[in-house]
Structure 1
């Protein structure tokens, strides 16, 4: 089996597009923290339930903010008895049990968290699956554009085999199209290079796992990406589906949402009739493009 090339960077025509491909799993970059003031950072942390003395350094706040992003435990909210148990369970050395300061325990436990390691593959497969689903849950509400593989799937072949089907089944993916005219009376669509590279670089078995798609046209207007339509396609494991289409702008052309929904539904009826829980084919994307073209006419 070939290694899915979506584990690597996808070519992009602009820096803004390049950042989309793996930004979905990254923490806020350090340069983001360089641009935020200490006052605003403190206010954001207080909104999350954290409190700092005015004398606390910005670096301490940055480290705490990263812990918040990682969903790590806030030790300051624990009782002294709970902290002592954590110290014992984590085998943290050189901690004074009679120390009265919760900050002392919290500091040492945070240090220990940064150094802890364990052998992930020693866990039972069922537990690894639950961890992967929990890990992917945060991405589920986002629409991902030509994403690279999540880091958990990049470590070895075994984890790719476990994680990638879950990733493609549970996340929502954007397919972008750009407008071109063959003549003055017809609308034609092309698939941008980064979207095409993402589709062609994916293993067919992985692409077949996709259940949630958003089709959009992307164009630059006043240095901002916009879309004139949006089609959402949901495909369940049992082959049932739901299609919805909306027209976002009218800019010299007409997008027939009802015709689009009808054409997409007929296509998804065929996809849903295929055997197995994973049914989508790469060629279906080009058939979706044909449905889009048949749903668009230029206004005269």
Structure 2
């Protein structure tokens, strides 16, 4: 995988960290904490970078293994070790190369319940909230994996919907902001129906200083929901009584709207486009 520092970008959130932009001196404490404490002072940045990626991928640090363990790893994996006297550095290099070139071609032969465990680990490292994401690569490998992983991705992820009154705040109507509108409107009805959690990012001007106000979510079974104040950038305004009342009004309005959505359907399995519009209207009228 390629690395990036833009973890929340719509097509970058699933990638590894951007270690490449860090200096060697910045990386050394990180790799030392990961067990690579016996590195030579003349080690190159590329080598340090390789160890940083091993830590990110949760691969074993062979420097912490005994000679007997290293020999056992090589034997169990059928790896040819260097001939002659035992050299730790040589066998570690061979094992690390084997890790980098490891291929597992029997994944689809695993029982579905074991594949689900793998998907859980894959999804667990995504950011808590995603803005306008593309579908992760695992959902585009083959038809079977897409069928198994796409519902998990939509059902377990919180998607942010950004709403704004616009720069001059002259209209009560909230609009979806830019690429957020493109994302929400491009979702197929079936995809939206799998979404369980929405974060409504409400900023009068869409700027970072505005409040992140409401998190609305449905329970995994579609029957439950919650409305909470999510994040506030303008913390000094928490002591402003009118501001606090506004937050409570919005919270109550969204709660009532979700109750109406849930009660109005025989089986609330996810969000439809009209549900998002209903939540928006509730906030506008609060």
What is the TM-score of this pair, normalised by structure 2? 0.83
267-276 or 103-112, which deviates more: 267-276
Partner of 1:59: 46
Partner of 1:10: none
1-structure distance, mates of 2:140, 2:261: 30
- The 8 Å contact of residues 34 and 61 in structure 2, kept in 1 or not, is answered as no
Query: Pick from 68, 83, 87: which aligns with 1:81?
Result: 68
Q: Distance in 1 between matches of 2:23 and 2:233?
A: 37
Deviation readout 1:102-154 (Å, 9 max, x if unpaired): x3222111101121212222222221111001111112x52111111111111
**1:78-157 counterparts in 2 under 5 A?**
78-96=65-83, 99-101=86-88, 103-119=89-105, 120-139=107-126, 142-157=128-143
> Is the alpha carbon distance of 1:68 and 1:105 closer, same or farther for their aligned partners in structure 2, counting shifts above 3 Å?
same
Q: In the alignment, which residue of structure 2 is the partner of 1:278?
A: 269
Considering Cα pairs closer than 8 Å and 6+ residues apart, tell me whether 1 or 2 has the greater RCO. Answer: 1
Structure-2 change in CA distance of 1:237 and 1:118 (3 Å):
same
Q: 2:210 aligns with which of 214, 220, 227?
A: 227
1:228–1:106 Cα change, 3 Å = same
1-structure distance, mates of 2:44, 2:276: 52
Q: Residue 206 in 1 paired to residue 191 in 2?
A: yes
**SS state at 2:200 partner:** strand
| SS of alignment partner, residue 172 of structure 2 | strand
Checking the alignment, whether the CA contact within 8 Å between 2:163 and 2:206 is kept in structure 1 is: no
Match of 2:226 in 1: 242
Identify unmatched segments of 5+ residues in structure 1: 1-15, 296-300
TM-score normalized by the length of structure 1: 0.79
The SS at the match of 1:127 is helix
Aligned length: 269
Cα distance in structure 1, aligned partners of 2:6 and 2:72 = 47
| Residue aligning to 1:27 | 16
**Aligned equivalents of 2:279, 2:196: Cα separation in 1:** 15
Q: Would the aligned equivalents of 2:7 and 2:17 in 1 still touch at CA under 8 Å?
A: no
Q: Does 1:268 align with 2:245?
A: no
Distance 1:264 1:118, change over 3 A: same
Whichever structure has more strand as a proportion of its residues is 1
CA distance in 2, matches of 1:220, 1:270: 28
Report how far residue 277 of structure 1 moved. 6.3
Change (3 A) 1:155 1:107: same
Once residues 275 and 69 of structure 1 are traced to their aligned partners in structure 2, the CA distance between those partners, rounded to angstroms, is 45
Q: CA RMSD in A?
A: 2.8
